[in-house]
């Protein structure tokens, strides 16, 4: 008898589900998508109803053959994730396996627990065509935009550039924020604090709120000094005392976007790292004798719904662990946004009784930190609010009105367990008066004693650059993309070198700014914030069955093709632009012009090609335009004695001899707040096995490496070991290497005698399924590193 076949996306998920289903079922993994549009061509027949040409992904042929063999004569249960991507995976598996299988079913679950798995297999269903249509529409939209617009960028800017439907809009946010910062002009302003004493302690500070009946707005020192002099002999009289009880309510359990933001702020995780860890917690982690256990519910969700069973469990935990004062009289139900998929739940522990403390021995540190964050937020969401005693005191002092505010925590409530991190998304008044602390008992009409007046100078700050948390919040608030796509959006704009992160802030590169400028000029509607959000709503309507995917594509493509034709005629050709400057060429006397090259703008002689004089445009050491300019150390070339100058190449800034091309000496650099210097070699105690001299840590274009200190006379380089024996059993070990293009790969230490090679990092742990001698670390756009 043929065993029923269950197919999921990953081996980890297969292992966890297999444990619950037992040996009666064969559980196998597709390792993500098995089919996609071909990379070599558009793959969409726009003349025939936007028919997609899906093909098996190169490298997946063996997996498909094995699944077909296992499906022969069997009942097949497709158990991919309960979202659009999962539904598309199921559709493609069904297309490949239906001819061989007895029956094909779709099973859905939102947590990998014994009860959830059994319930799903009791009621198998069919593939949701609407979800498949929504995923197909998104894929075709992205393909049309990418494949149709990218050649324009190759022609007008440089080859290798690409446009993304949603990524370009996210990049636009970064570029426009940078433009706001550049245009910002800081303005001076002054605050005035008064240290006061009442009849009862303690002393306290009140701040000026109004002057002559108008809101306090003093912009210069002379004015504030005049006010201070005036207040020296003025009585400070209490005019109003307002005491009240203030409550701070708990926040809902996590949805995907809020988990990404909180993990970024509190744990310092990138969005991709967060989603990769969450995927592992969902699919199953080895917990001692229990084996693989799914610890959280599905992590791609926009719903705050929680099952009644989970509510009962968490309320019982709050009652027994913290007591009745912390437990609300009734469960708290949170309102979800209109587009939320209520079939999903919020992100929560599959068992609230699995406390973070009970998992410390089983989870690696980052997994435990993320699980703790999820567990605490979920439990806190069903606790009573925190209660504060708040007091406001208003004080008249002649023409100036002061105010003091104080707040004392009376009952911590949910704050005993969880406090939401603040997001930095607007210009913060860093020196704003604080409103926490104890205020004395005072009464209206009481005259206070002035101890000290403290005027303070401030300057308005530009809006902050986006970090990952604030960029995700900006995308979410505008309805751009969906939380499940944010990780790939943020990764793509960095991978394409359209933006870089410095000190955890996003800075657009010169190329990124040019791309946004051209695309917004030529495709104003396509890359508009509201239009992009409307397209997401169209995808939601397709998923809910209220719209046909091919009709939506037809409407989009009609407008898009019109703009495309116009852009082909009218888009600026950045490659041929030459912006004249006042500078004169020191070699031929012609005007120097600003041109666009492979690595951005540079200054060149207008007499090119007769005169080939060029130079770098001076750049600030820091990408931060508001940062002080760094000075280059006076470093001489040790080969020819000429000064070294700062240049920029494809791998970033470096020092090069000013005698180029006669002298081609270069050096890596290290930056500080006010200078640029050379990265010096770090000598080691270890001896070179080739020549006997000491090894040193050196700095190359791909980072640090260990090599002989006598380079280039001795060219020995120490390869980084992985601790894994060569897969060909030749006696060598697998070591980390780099290709000529800088890509990391892993090969045998006995090369060239042994040509064994891997592109994924080997981990010295045996496979728990097949006992292979080592595992491979893989990174995908969807799941991150696993």
Q: Model confidence over 736-759: pLDDT tens digits?
A: 887 766 678 888 887 888 888 888
Average pLDDT over residues 614-634: 51
- Annotation says 371 is catalytic: no
Assign 615 a pLDDT band (cuts: 50, 70, 90): confident
- Cα separation, 774 vs 745, in Å, equals 16
Determine how many CB atoms are found less than 10 A away from the CB of residue 715. 11
Give the tokens for residue 36. Answer: 């996609």
State the angle between helix axes of 271-283 and 365-380 in degrees (0 to 180), rounded to the nearest 10: 80
3-state secondary structure (DSSP) of residue 754: coil
Alpha carbons 98 and 71: distance in angstroms, whole number: 8
Cα distances (angstroms) measured from residue 332 to each of 308, 420, 482: 11, 18, 26
- Across 223-239, b (16+ Cβ under 10 Å) vs e yields ebeebeeebeeeebebe
Q: Which CATH class is domain 188-249+386-419+431-459?
A: mainly beta
Find, among 238, 239, 234, 212, the residue nearest to 223 by Cα: 212
What pLDDT sits at residue 676?
55
Higher pLDDT, 254 or 673: 254
What pLDDT band is residue 129 in, cutting at 50, 70 and 90? very high
What is the pTM (predicted TM-score) of this model?
Answer: 0.76
Sketch the domain layout of the chain as residue ranges: 5-127, 137-184+464-570, 188-249+386-419+431-459, 256-380, 579-678, 719-785
Q: What is the third-level CATH fold of 5-127?
A: Rossmann fold (3.40.50)
Tokens of 662: 């006669």
193 close to 209: Cβ distance less than 8 angstroms: no
Measured between alpha carbons, how far is 664 from 598 in angstroms, rounded to an integer? 20
Per-residue pLDDT, 620: 40
774 pLDDT higher than 90 = no
Q: For residue 544, is pLDDT > 80?
A: yes
Say if residue 686's pLDDT is above 50. yes
CA distance 159 to 573: 13
pLDDT tens for each residue of 467-482: 999 999 999 999 999 8
CATH of domain 137-184+464-570: 1.10.460.10
Q: How many residues does the chain have?
A: 786
How much of the chain, in percent, has pLDDT values that exceed 70? 90
What pLDDT was estimated at residue 622? 40
713-725: per-residue pLDDT in tens? 787 877 777 778 8
Token representation of residue 180: 């706001």
**Has residue 250 got a pLDDT over 70?**
yes
* Residue showing tokens 């394409």: 496
CA of residue 339 relative to chain centroid, distance: 23
DSSP string, 353-385: TS-HHHHTTTS-HHHHHHHHHHHHHHHHTTSPP
CATH topology for the 256-380 domain: Topoisomerase I; domain 4 (1.10.290)
- DSSP codes, 113-172: SHHHHHHHHHS-B---HHHHHHHHHHHHHHHHHHHHHHHHHHHHT-TT----TTHHHHHH
Residue 680: CB atoms within 10 A of its CB come to: 13
Cα dihedral 216, 221, 225, 231 in deg (nearest 10) = 10
When comparing pLDDT for 235 and 786, which is higher? 235
- pLDDT number for residue 266: 94
Strands (E), 24-147: 26-29, 35-36, 44-45, 51-52, 55-56, 75-78, 103-106
- Supply the DSSP symbol for 621: S
Q: Residue 267 has what DSSP assignment? A: I
Question: Residue 512 pLDDT more than 70?
Answer: yes
Given a cut of 80, is residue 5 above it in pLDDT?
Answer: yes
- pLDDT at residue 110, as a whole number: 94
CA 464 to CA 518: how far, in whole Å? 25
Number of helices and strands in the chain (H, E): 17, 41
Of 20, 77, 105, 298, catalytic: 298
The pLDDT value recorded for residue 137 is 96
Compute the half-sphere exposure of residue 540: CA atoms within 13 Å on the CB side of its CA.
16
């Amino acid at each position: 008898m043929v065993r029923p076949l269950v197919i999921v996306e990953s081996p980890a998920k297969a292992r966890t589900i297999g444990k619950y289903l037992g040996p009666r079922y064969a559980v196998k993994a597709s390792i993500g998508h098995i089919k996609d549009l071909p990379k070599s061509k558009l793959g969409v027949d726009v003349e025939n109803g936007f028919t997609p040409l899906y093909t098996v992904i190169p490298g997946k042929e063996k997996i498909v053959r094995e699944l077909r063999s296992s499906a022969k004569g069997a009942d097949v249960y497709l158990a991919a994730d309960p979202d659009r991507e999962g539904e598309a995976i199921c559709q493609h598996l069904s297309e490949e396996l239906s001819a061989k299988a007895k029956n094909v079913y779709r099973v859905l679950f939102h947590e990998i627990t014994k009860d959830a798995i059994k319930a799903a297999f009791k009621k198998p269903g069919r593939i949701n065509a609407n979800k498949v249509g929504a995923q197909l529409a998104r894929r075709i939209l992205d393909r049309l935009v990418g494949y149709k617009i990218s050649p324009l960028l190759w022609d007008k800017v440089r080859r290798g550039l690409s446009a993304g439907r949603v990524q370009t809009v996210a990049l636009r946010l970064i570029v426009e924020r940078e433009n706001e910062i550049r245009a910002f002009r800081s303005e001076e302003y002054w605050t005035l604090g008064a240290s006061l004493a009442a009849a009862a302690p303690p002393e306290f500070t009140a701040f000026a709120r109004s002057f002559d009946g108008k809101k306090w707005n003093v912009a210069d020192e002379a004015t504030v000094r005049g006010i201070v002099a005036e207040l020296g002999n003025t009585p400070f009289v209490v005019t109003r005392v307002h005491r009240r009880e203030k409550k701070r309510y708990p926040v809902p359990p996590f949805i995907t976007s809020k988990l990404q933001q909180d993990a970024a702020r509190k744990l310092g995780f990138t969005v991709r790292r967060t989603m990769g860890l969450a995927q592992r917690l969902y699919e199953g982690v080895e917990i001692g004798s229990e084996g693989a256990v799914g610890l959280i519910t599905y992590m791609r969700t926009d719903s705050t719904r929680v099952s009644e069973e989970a509510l009962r469990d968490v309320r019982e935990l709050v009652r027994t662990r913290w007591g009745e004062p912390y437990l609300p009289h009734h469960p708290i139900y949170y309102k979800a946004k209109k587009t939320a998929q209520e079939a999903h739940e919020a992100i929560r522990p599959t068992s609230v009784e699995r406390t973070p403390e009970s998992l410390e021995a089983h989870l690696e540190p980052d997994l435990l930190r993320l699980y703790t964050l999820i567990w605490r937020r979920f439990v806190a969401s069903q606790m009573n609010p925190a209660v504060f005693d708040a007091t406001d005191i208003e004080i008249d002092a002649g023409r100036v009105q002061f105010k003091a505010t104080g707040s004392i925590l009376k009952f911590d409530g949910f704050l005993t367990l969880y406090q939401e991190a603040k997001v930095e998304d607007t210009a913060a008044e860093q020196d704003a008066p604080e409103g926490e602390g104890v205020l004395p008992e005072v009464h209206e009409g009481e005259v206070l004693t002035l101890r000290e007046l403290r005027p303070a100078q401030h300057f308005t700050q530009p809006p902050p650059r986006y970090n990952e948390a604030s960029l995700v919040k900006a995308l979410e608030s505008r309805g751009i993309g969906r939380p499940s796509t944010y990780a790939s959006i943020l990764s793509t704009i960095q991978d394409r070198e359209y933006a870089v992160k410095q000190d955890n802030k996003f800075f657009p590169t010169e190329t990124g700014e040019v791309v946004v400028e051209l695309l917004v000029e030529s495709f104003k509607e396509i890359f508009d914030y509201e239009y992009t959000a409307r397209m997401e709503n169209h995808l939601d309507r397709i998923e809910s069955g209220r719209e046909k995917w091919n009709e939506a594509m037809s409407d989009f493509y009609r407008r898009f093709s019109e703009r495309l034709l116009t852009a082909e005629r009218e888009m600026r050709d950045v490659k041929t632009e030459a912006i004249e400057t006042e500078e004169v060429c020191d070699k031929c006397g012609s005007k120097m012009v600003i041109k666009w090259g492979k690595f951005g703008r540079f200054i060149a002689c207008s007499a090119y090609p007769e005169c080939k004089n060029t130079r770098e445009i001076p750049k600030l050491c820091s990408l931060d335009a508001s940062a002080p300019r760094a000075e280059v150390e006076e470093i001489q070339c040790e080969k020819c004695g000429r000064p070294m100058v700062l240049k920029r190449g494809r791998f970033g800034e470096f020092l090069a001899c000013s005698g180029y091309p006669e002298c081609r000496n270069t050096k890596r650099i290290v930056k500080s707040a006010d200078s640029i210097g050379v990265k010096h070699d770090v000598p080691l105690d270890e001896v070179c096995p080739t020549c006997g001299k000491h090894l040193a840590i050196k700095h190359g274009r791909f980072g640090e490496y260990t090599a002989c200190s006598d380079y280039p006379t001795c060219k020995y380089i120490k390869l980084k070991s992985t601790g894994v024996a060569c897969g060909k059993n030749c006696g060598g070990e697998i070591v980390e290497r780099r290709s000529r293009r800088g890509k990391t790969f892993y090969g045998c230490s006995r090369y060239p005698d042994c040509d064994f090679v891997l592109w994924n990092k080997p981990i010295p742990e045996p496979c728990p399924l097949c006992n292979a001698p080592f595992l491979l670390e893989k990174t995908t756009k969807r799941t991150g590193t696993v």
